[in-house]
Amino acid sequence: MDMRSKARTLSGPVSDPAKLPRWNYDGSSTGQAAGEDSEVILYPQVIFRDPFRRGNHHLLVMCDAYTPAGDPIPTNKRHAAANIFGQIEAEEPLFGIEQEYTLLWKDSNRPLGWPLGGYPGPQGPYYCGIGADKAFGREIVDAHYNACLYAGVNISGINAEVMPGQWEFQIGPSPGISAADELWVARYILERITEMAGVVLSLDPKPIPGDWNGASAHTNFSTKAMREEEGGYELIKKAIHKLQLRHADHIAAYGEGNERRLTGGHETAEINTFSWV
């Protein structure tokens, strides 16, 4: 995960992202623009309370990126997504996202709670576990939870995961593009907190090979019609069959390294096999 940020001071308080000034950065330094035409423009999209500079007027601003001519740069996937969601507001799409992650020691690249040169006990007692021999990094996890709540992110829970040193937070249910914005801001807040703790945040789908669970972002989705008692389940099944027709396309878009996680073991399906229950 490659996230960037910077800070600026304004002349007075602002409560509407549309009233925030646009800003810029050097896209050649981030691999997003050529050196001879490196200007990238930041468009403020969503504001949250800043959990790192607490006070009435400190804001955390989610932006997306454009060329000086006003075109979204290639890595700006939010622009197209926001346009799509704007066309289907009547469907009332809701997302609930379960983001798993692993906390790694900076010097050894080993998960928290893992002995140097060895392995912890087998999986089993760590999921939702408590105690110094089962839960590793809870101070970071709780600090992240509290920071998201302060910021106004719709974070709905946290828990320790199956592999020691692995955790999860949940976003939503949130509508449309808001779910994605809240997920990215929650990831940003988490990486800032791990930075302060001297710990590395990993979203790698299989940080430790072998008989250990991987990490993913499970996505739960429904429309208003799907949530209806009458006929909702049939609509869900129709949507699932449509997903099956594009399985390979979706897998290709879900990020790098999933072939290491989706093996059919460790609570996963096999990557090339579409399945549902």
| All CATH 3.10.20.70 domain ranges in the chain, comma separated | 17-76
Rounded to whole angstroms, how far apart are CA atoms 132 and 94? 37
Output the pLDDT for position 277: 85
Both tokens assigned to 39: 């200007």
* Tokens representing residue 54 in the block: 């607490």
DSSP 8-state secondary structure symbol assigned to residue 205: S
**Parts of the chain belonging to CATH 3.30.590.10:** 92-261
Does CATH place domain 92-261 in 2.60.40.10?
no
Question: Residue 225 has what pLDDT?
Answer: 98
Tell me the pLDDT of the chain (277 aa) as tens digits: 889 999 999 999 999 999 999 999 999 999 998 878 899 999 999 999 999 998 889 999 999 999 999 999 999 999 999 999 999 999 999 999 999 999 999 999 999 999 988 999 999 999 999 999 999 999 999 999 999 999 999 999 999 999 999 999 999 999 999 999 999 999 999 999 999 999 999 999 999 999 999 999 999 999 999 999 999 999 999 999 999 999 999 999 999 999 999 999 999 999 999 999 8
**pLDDT score, position 18:** 95
Nearest to 267 by CA among 96, 95, 100: 100
For residue 33, the one-letter residue type is: A
Residues in contact with 212: Cβ distance below 8 Å, sequence separation at least 6, in sequence order: 123, 163, 266
Q: Helix or strand or coil: residue 189?
A: helix
Q: What CATH number has the domain spanning 17-76? A: 3.10.20.70
**Using a CB cutoff of 8 Å and minimum separation of 24, what contacts does 47-50 make?**
47/14, 47/15, 47/16, 47/17, 47/20, 48/151, 48/152, 48/153, 48/185, 49/150, 49/151, 49/152, 50/151
- pLDDT for 127: 98
- pTM as predicted: 0.96
Amino acid at 62: M
Q: For residue 10, give both structure tokens.
A: 């304004």
Do residues 163 and 212 lie in contact, with contact meaning Cβ atoms separated by under 8 Å?
yes
β-strand partners of 98: 170, 218
Name which of 92, 100, 42 is nearest 68 in CA terms.
42
Give the 3-state secondary structure percentages of the chain, helix then strand then coil, rounded to 5: 30, 25, 45
